[in-house]
Amino acid sequence: MSARSEPGSQAPQSPTVGVLALQGDVREHVRALTDVGAFVRPVRRPAELDDVDALVIPGGESTTISKLAETFELLEPIRKRIGDGMPTYGSCAGMIMLASEVLDGRPDQQSFAGIDMSVRRNAFGRQIDSFEAPVEIDGISGPAFHAVFIRAPWVERVGEGVRVLGRVTDGTAAGRIVAVRQGNLMATSFHPELTGDLRVHALFVDLVRAAA
Amino acid sequence: MSESTAQSGSDQSTVAGEQTVSATGVVGTARVKRGMAEMLKGGVIMDVVTPEQAKIAEDAGAVAVMALERVPADIRAQGGVSRMSDPDMIDGIIDAVSIPVMAKARIGHFVEAQVLQALGVDYVDESEVLTPADYANHIDKWAFTVPFVCGATNLGEALRRITEGAAMIRSKGEAGTGDVSNATTHMRKIRDEIRRLGSLPTDELYVAAKELQAPYELVREVAETGKLPVVLFTAGGIATPADAAMMMQLGAEGVFVGSGIFKSGNPAQRAAAIVKATTFYDDPDVLAKVSRGLGEAMVGINVGDIPVPHRLAERGW
């Protein structure tokens, strides 16, 4: 049950999706979400979290986002909202921030947890290994999704109740899990916000509407 | 936007160059190069000369570190030819941190860039802070898998670097001074020229391209989108949290800090404060809070006291 669904509260533009705006490619997610019909607000302060039905955690540097979330007292409020069922989607660093376990992270690295999975940071390698490849995503129709991986993580373990939505199909990393969903939470290793293909954002906003 | 440009959107229209298929997929595309810079936005990239400094930077929340032989303030003080870092030092820095590692190559020194790519650095800065290796040509950056960032003092210079394959631009400022005045001049200049292009009728863009000494296709793209086709950071003379926040308010998408951190009294605390100021650049209450108790800022030099031939921003053409 989200904070905005109580009787009498005015929610003329719905759903309202927040984008965590501490660091990273915030603008690209804002544009993609707006294009699929969501009302979008940046979230940098705990109070701003109260105004959103859902949250997107952008790509960026996960150690920086973790540190800023801790410093500016967003860690616990976001964990609590996620625990209460707030739909949340993370791409790349956002996937790391949603993992219950982070591998190859900093010892002090914090996450919002939420999805029962182990995610390895920079699993595909350094920037010179960053790549583009098609990925079939469960729940998305049409041609394979053209996925952009940038110093990307992958999912090494998923718990029960986590649905694998997509894997790398070809090459040395074939079979690696790169898209998952658990309840109202979604995560991808890759960056749909960089491609102009809105199908992942549309899938998430549908999920937000269904959860409202 | 006219129908003639609608075919593929802004992130594709000017993209050319080398692409390679690796064991996982297509690597070295303009999209993964420019996309890497998108992930650094809103962050601070810090100059470091040792693995120990790199750790301090990562602890403070830097989004990346820049490995170089000497920070600009020391290059200024000591003189001599300044070059790419020792590969052992770069390896040490790569091993010390988990965030991206950038490294500087001399302008036009494509072999230093080849070496840096072989070492596995995540971004190469073809930098005026080092002694130029070629006074006519910059590196052909399309020929590399690793992405490049280059400095610019105005829009024409930025677009020439993008034409050569730069995937990220930083305004130059005047490195190693702690004097932010040139950073503001260059950022205002780039932004003013972008705004001016947006106000021109389309039939005047041809002459605008001639005057900017930049390709017409890129000029038209900037006029239509109101921004560079790559991420724009600021650099050169940023020494305080307020400096970083001012540059963000002027339109920078992130901040490079060179000598300003490790030439100050308390690098760890100052680094963390600049990170926070870059995120909350538009919130004076946060800025006031993080600006307290940082100890001595770097002493600095007024840019006006440096003879023109010794100004680093003059390098690059």
Could you list the pLDDT tens digit for every one of the 212 residues in chain A? 344 444 444 444 679 999 999 999 999 999 999 999 999 999 999 999 999 999 999 999 999 999 999 999 999 999 999 999 999 999 999 999 999 999 999 999 999 999 999 999 999 999 999 999 999 999 999 999 999 999 999 999 999 999 999 999 988 899 999 999 999 999 999 999 999 999 999 999 999 999 98
Active-site residue flag, A191: yes
**A106 and B58: CB-CB below 8 Å?**
yes
Q: At A101, give phi and psi (nearest 5°).
A: -140, 130
Q: Which residues of B touch A (CB under 8 A)?
A: 9, 11, 22-29, 31-32, 35-36, 38-43, 58, 61-64, 98-100, 117, 120, 122-123, 145-147, 275-276, 279-280
Q: Residue B160: in which H helix or E strand, if any?
A: helix B155-163
**8-state DSSP, B141:** G
| Catalytic residue numbers of B, as ranges | 104
pLDDT tens sequence across B207-237: 999 999 999 999 999 999 999 999 999 999 9
CA distance B100 to chain A (A): 8
**A68 and B279: CB-CB below 8 Å?**
yes
Of residues A24, A63, A170, nearest to B41 (C-beta): A24
pLDDT for position B17: 52
**B100 and A127: CB-CB below 8 Å?**
yes
CA distance A212 to chain B (A): 31
Residue A144 and residue A130: Cα distance in Å, rounded?
A: 19
Q: Which residue of B lies nearest to A147 if distances are taken between CA atoms?
A: B25
Probe site for chain B from A25, A26, A31, A64 (most B CB atoms < 10 A): A64
**B279 and A126: CB-CB below 8 Å?**
no
Strands, E assignment, chain A: 16-20, 39-43, 54-57, 88-91, 99-103, 115-120, 131-135, 145-149, 154-158, 163-167, 177-182, 185-188
DSSP string for B166-197: -SEEEE---TTS--THHHHHHHHHHHHHHHHH
Residue B25 and residue B11: Cα distance in Å, rounded?
A: 20
The interface residues of chain A toward chain B in range 151-180, judged by CB-CB distance below 8 A, are: 151, 168, 170-173
Whole-model pTM: value is 0.93
CA distance A210 to chain B (A): 30
- % of chain B at pLDDT higher than 70: 94
The C-alpha angle A184, A190, A191, rounded to 5 degrees, equals: 90
Q: Give SS3 for B84.
A: coil
**A68 and B41: CB-CB below 8 Å?**
no
**8-state DSSP, A154:** E
pLDDT for position B76: 83
Q: Which residue of B lies nearest to A193 if distances are taken between CA atoms?
A: B35
Task: Give yes or no for A121 touching B (CB within 8 A).
Answer: yes
Contacts of B111 (CB under 8 A, 6+ apart): none
Predicted ipTM? 0.93
The interface residues of chain A toward chain B in range 65-84, judged by CB-CB distance below 8 A, are: 67-68, 71-72
pLDDT for position B18: 56
Contacts of B165 (CB under 8 A, 6+ apart): B17, B140, B141, B142, B143, B144, B148
Is 80 exceeded by the pLDDT of residue B10? no
The interface residues of chain A toward chain B in range 23-52, judged by CB-CB distance below 8 A, are: 23-28, 44
